[in-house]
Amino acid sequence: MERKVGSLVRLVVPETEPEREDSELARAFVRGEPWAARAIWTRHAPMVFRLLERALGPNGEADDLTQSVFLTTFAGLPRLRDPEALRSFIYSVALRILKWELRRRRVRRIVQLSPAGVVPEVPVRGADSENREILVRFYRLLDGLNASERTAFVLRHMEGFKLEEVAEHLGVSLATAKRWISRGSQRVSALVAADAELSSYLGEGGVFDARG
């Protein structure tokens, strides 16, 4: 059955449907089994949505980008050599789209354009809760990082991956991953520490804790 949340259609597998391995889902999709895309989405969409929302913030259009990730995933699945690597493949697609989105937004900030291509209006503070306002301010700080530093920061401090896992996901050496994480962490922590309200959210080691 289908359940629509905002612009995102979440497909829910019936409780009676048997549990299947990722490799079986990938092979079934390539064979053209009609249930396979639904099952892949239901299992892995929450992971992708969480990554994108944590990286982009509460107003980051994670719903639409999650759908883009799976459109790209389904287009590339027939070329996936190892069906058991389905989860890693989806995650790598999500990271590519995330970095593309971060770079696109950085260019727009440089030329001071809104997503619609016009000069943005001065934002008006709404009736958001205090926690939401804190998150909005924090993500404004993250906007100062480049795409690589921000992605590495999110994987390490918000997704909780080990250094080796961050390097593997980003397809870079361990030294490069450490450098990106270090630069991003130092910059974010310095900016947060300079903000009286945000500084109270500094976690262990001076790292801002923004996990949802």
Instruction: Report the pLDDT value the prediction gives residue 125, as an integer from 0 to 100.
Output: 43
Average pLDDT of the residues of the chain:
79
Measure the CA dihedral 97/101/103/107, to 10°: 150
- Categorize the per-residue pLDDT at 64 as very low, low, confident or very high, splitting at 50, 70 and 90: very high
- pLDDT tens-digit readout, 72-109: 999 999 999 999 999 999 999 999 999 998 888 766 55
Q: Which residue has the tokens 């993500």?
A: 139
The per-residue pLDDT for 143 is 85
pLDDT band (50, 70, 90) for residue 1? very low
pLDDT at 203 over 70: no
pLDDT at 195 over 70: yes
Please tell me the predicted confidence (pLDDT) of residue 23. Answer: 95
Predicted local distance difference test score (pLDDT) of residue 121 = 42
Q: Could you tell me if 189 and 142 are in contact, meaning their C-beta atoms sit under 8 angstroms apart?
A: no
61 vs 39, residue with greater confidence: 39
Among positive and negative, which fits the CA dihedral 63, 67, 72, 76?
positive
Question: 54: closest CA among 175, 125, 158?
Answer: 158
Average pLDDT value for residue range 172-182? 95
Q: Is residue 45 pLDDT above 90, yes or no?
A: yes
For the chain, which domains are there? 1-121 (1.10.1740.10), 127-212 (1.10.10.10)
Angle at 171 between CA 165 and CA 173, to 5 degrees: 75
154 touches 177 (CB < 8 A) = no
Enter the pTM of the model. Answer: 0.71
